[in-house]
Amino acid sequence: MLRASAAIERAGFPTVSLVSTGFLKQAEVVARGLGIDDLKIAHYPGTPMVDSREELRTKVERDLLPQIIEGLTSGRTAERKRDAAREPTPRDIVFSGTLEEVNDKFYAEMWTDGMPVFPPTVAHVERFLRYTDRAPEEVIGVCPPDNREATVWNIALTGVMAGCRPEYMPLLVAVVEAITDPEFRVQDAGSTPGWEPLITVSGPIASELDFNSGASVMRVGRRANSTVGRFLRLILRNMAGFRFAPGAGDKGSIAQNFFVALAENEAACTEIGWAPYSVDRGFDAGANVVTVQSVVSVSPPIYTGSDDPAEHARVLAEVIGQSCGYWSPVAMAYAKNNPLIVMGPSIAKVFADHGWSKDRIRQYLHENVWIAADDAERYAYYIGLTGFKLKDQVGKGLLPAEYCASEDPKRRVRVFMRPEWIGIVVAGDSGRNQSKAYCSNHTQGPPVSREVKLPRNWNELRTRH
């Protein structure tokens, strides 16, 4: 909303943005990123979704209306640009001290994730730069809302801080290419659901860099998985401006965290005859690919046991329906839903041995995961989509006509609108019968994939290492 207000202001028309108390600091961060010093804001005190009708009316009349009138009748907002003179250049030494002093300084400046970082000296950054053919000053992308440029240099610097090894550098660049694609909408990574970006690594690079794709795949412990996941959180913090301290832009109400990148078990895929996730994403088999997507919630561990694939599919549908159903009205409102299923190799083998492809599993889930229509509209209201109606979504062409097949409020509607939007990755403990589902946050953080571009002398560098 603030971005639209800024555009309208620049066109010469006054605007006022309505912001409740919990979003004031985030609004300031977004306004700074937009280059607006004085974007007009009308402050609603408190949380409107839990106020009574009487409280709501009183606050609108007493608090909002005077601010709206003042904002629309006062002068136009002033624009500003970031003071480049105050920004250090890449090779500037911003602080010197002991390891403890460096970490205390970085923590005080809110440059860390709360844990100790590896000091990003020029020498260590230059070691990372050997693993890419790209120039240090090349801009890979811009990270809103703070709108800082993610250059090859500061990608390497962030990799050092996160504890990555230099040879991870091509993968780190691909991750930043993915999140700075406008489709990913990184500017929404601080929204109240507290979604977290999840990196999936596919291709030979996963084993070359010693990623774990087996038991405890989503647990910290393996350096590659852990530090690459941490790298992305530091990029969001220092490039995009998503910090949760006072005056910062992360509004995740409770939030969650992954500090771990997911690696696909391509050997298991090959063994059972399934194409890897990277091929599902449109790349050639054998390509090194990273995919980043939002995760707003995670299912319980889903244990299934049978040599009948239909039984596994039935339980998957039941548990995924319970896990993703509540959040599905948000997906219906924006006509976008990208759940990701991480399926244990033993479960995938049962499906494959009985001729079930990933497409057949997707189709089954599309046809067998439901929510009652009135529950969808009720949950949407609680989330803040107070005007959401399935009938309106169908009328706009955002949902198929089947979502209004009758007037029965208890009619069942599909949780997953299109089967091809369901991702399936084979990973985890091959000696156990477990899967998990990860629910995405609609148009915020849809899956975006980039191929990992290795330097020309990659084999020489790896041999030397």
Same domain, yes or no, for 288 and 342? no
First to last CA, the chain: 49
Provide the pLDDT for residue 115.
93
C-alpha span between 259 and 197 (Å, rounded): 10
Same domain, yes or no, for 253 and 397? no
Same domain, yes or no, for 132 and 280? yes
**Which helix (DSSP H) or strand (DSSP E) does residue 104 occupy?**
helix 99-108
Domain boundary among 73, 99, 134: 73
Q: Quick one: CA dihedral 249, 3, 19, 78, positive or negative?
A: positive
Q: What is the largest CA-CA distance in the chain?
A: 72
Q: 421-465 pLDDT, tens per residue?
A: 999 999 999 999 999 999 999 899 999 999 999 999 998 888 776
Amino acid in position 330: V
In a domain, 81, yes or no: no
Give SS3 for 278. helix
- Tell me the pLDDT band of 80, cut-offs 50, 70 and 90: very low
| Number of domains observed in the structure of the chain | 3
C-alpha span between 128 and 159 (Å, rounded): 8
Same domain, yes or no, for 197 and 308? no
Nearest in space to 380 (alpha carbons), one of 413, 332, 337, 421 = 332
Residue 127 phi, psi (nearest 5): -65, -40
Provide the pLDDT for residue 118.
96
Same domain, yes or no, for 142 and 256? yes
Q: Which domain covers residue 242, as residue numbers?
A: 86-292+447-465
**Token code pair at residue 390:** 């399935």
Same domain, yes or no, for 355 and 395? yes
Average pLDDT over residues 249-270: 83
In a domain, 425, yes or no: yes
Same domain, yes or no, for 37 and 109? no
In a domain, 79, yes or no: no
Least confident of 81-90, 159-168, 184-193, 364-373: 81-90
C-alpha span between 115 and 227 (Å, rounded): 12
Beta bridge partners of 202: 289
Q: pLDDT at residue 96 above 80?
A: yes
Q: 25-47 pLDDT, tens per residue?
A: 666 666 666 666 667 777 778 77
Q: Quick one: CA dihedral 455, 460, 462, 465, positive or negative?
A: negative
Q: pLDDT at residue 230 above 90?
A: yes
Same domain, yes or no, for 254 and 306? no
Provide the pLDDT for residue 58.
84
Same domain, yes or no, for 195 and 237? yes
Same domain, yes or no, for 274 and 168? yes
In a domain, 78, yes or no: no
Q: pLDDT at residue 159 above 80?
A: yes
Same domain, yes or no, for 113 and 258? yes
Provide the pLDDT for residue 9.
60
In a domain, 80, yes or no: no
| Neighbouring residues of 324: CB distance < 8 A, sequence distance ≥ 6 | 297, 299, 339, 369, 415, 416, 437, 439
| Neighbouring residues of 290: CB distance < 8 A, sequence distance ≥ 6 | 171, 174, 175, 178, 199, 200, 201, 202, 449, 450, 452
Provide the pLDDT for residue 137.
96
Least confident of 35-49, 122-136, 304-318, 384-398: 35-49
Same domain, yes or no, for 308 and 178? no
Domain boundary among 19, 46, 73: 73
Domain boundary among 45, 73, 101: 73
In a domain, 386, yes or no: yes
In a domain, 231, yes or no: yes
Find the angle CA(385)-CA(386)-CA(389) to the nearest 5 degrees.
85
Q: Considering only residues 265 and 40, tell me which one the structure prediction assigns the higher pLDDT.
A: 265
In a domain, 403, yes or no: yes
Q: Are 39 and 77 in contact (CB under 8 A)?
A: yes
Q: pTM for the whole thing? A: 0.86
Average pLDDT over residues 10-21: 70
